[in-house]
Amino acid sequence: MALLASSLVDWNALGKIALAALICGAGVVIAFGLLLLGLKWARGHDGPAGRLAGVSLSAVCAVFVAAAVVIGIYAIAKKPSTAKKPSKSKSAALVVGSD
């Protein structure tokens, strides 16, 4: 069964896609978590340095998360269409010979 699947599936390309999806998916989730952590940190500190650090961390993470969403929507909108195969005609020409 593995030999049959190896001729149908490009395992190298599938591995690259799975790795990229894992990295990007986990990256966005981690960045959003850091955004929330930065906001909590900014509220918890009374000094201006702590607030500035928390707000700065949140702003950087918010830009990253927003950019990931925009790039994802752009990639979906600009997805290349597959080439359509020409359809075969299902009608047959009837040739009547004259005798």
pLDDT class for 35, splitting at 50, 70, 90? very high
pLDDT tens readout for residues 44-99: 888 889 899 999 999 999 999 999 999 889 988 987 776 666 666 566 555 666 65
Q: Which residue has the higher pLDDT, 4 or 50?
A: 50
Kindly list the domain boundaries of the chain, sorted by start residue: 31-81
Model-level pTM greater than 0.75?
no
Q: What pLDDT does residue 87 have? A: 62
Q: What pLDDT does residue 80 have? A: 77
Spatial CA neighbour of 36 closest among 55, 17, 18: 55
Spatial CA neighbour of 58 closest among 43, 37, 76, 74: 37
